[in-house]
Amino acid sequence: MLKLNERILSYQELSKSIMTNIKSDSIIYYKSSCITCKKTLSEIDRMKIDIQKRDFFKEPFSEGELKKIVKLSGLNPIELLRKRDKMYKELKLDSTKQSESQIIKLMIKYPGLIKRPIIIKQNKTHVGKIDVKNLK
């Protein structure tokens, strides 16, 4: 559970708050030049899955959005980082201890650090390479 504005949110409420202003019950956050994202988007289009699309490099996450996504994923922010990213190495994230809040701030500042794509569908979050057939 996540404490926001002095209120405890369940996973269902959390998912609903992320999905507010979204036309379908699903969204994919991606980077347009990412090969994994391109493959996933192509497969989603081929399967005619109704999903909203958002390039988070063109429309960056707010800190609040990213916190909600991290919480909904059930992962720690460090688990959502791309360890092969240039900034990951430059910031020495493998050898320095960062708080969850610090990691989220770094993810906002350097979106290339974030594993992608991120798909939210029916209260479930999928991060990175996935089998799109599981979304149907």
Spell out the SS3 assignment of 87-101: HHHHCCCCCCCCCHH
Instruction: Answer yes or no: is 1 within a domain.
Output: no
Domain count, the chain: 1
Instruction: Answer yes or no: is 85 within a domain.
Output: yes
Instruction: Answer yes or no: is 58 within a domain.
Output: yes
pLDDT beyond 60 at 10: no
Instruction: Answer yes or no: is 43 within a domain.
Output: yes
Q: What is the pLDDT of residues 12-34, one digit of tens each?
A: 554 455 544 444 589 999 999 99
Among 3-17, 37-51, 78-92, the minimum mean pLDDT is found in 3-17
Long-range Cβ contact pairs of 120-126 (< 8 A, separation 24 or more): 120/15, 120/18, 120/19, 120/26, 120/27, 120/69, 120/72, 121/25, 121/26, 121/27, 121/51, 122/25, 122/26, 123/11, 123/12, 123/15, 123/72, 125/69, 125/72, 125/73, 125/74
Q: What mean pLDDT comes out for the span 115-126?
A: 92
- CATH number of residue 29's parent domain: 3.40.30.10
Mean pLDDT of the chain: 85
- In angstroms, rounded to a whole number, what is the distance separating the alpha carbons of residues 38 and 49? 15
Instruction: Answer yes or no: is 90 within a domain.
Output: yes
What is the domain extent for residue 36? 8-127
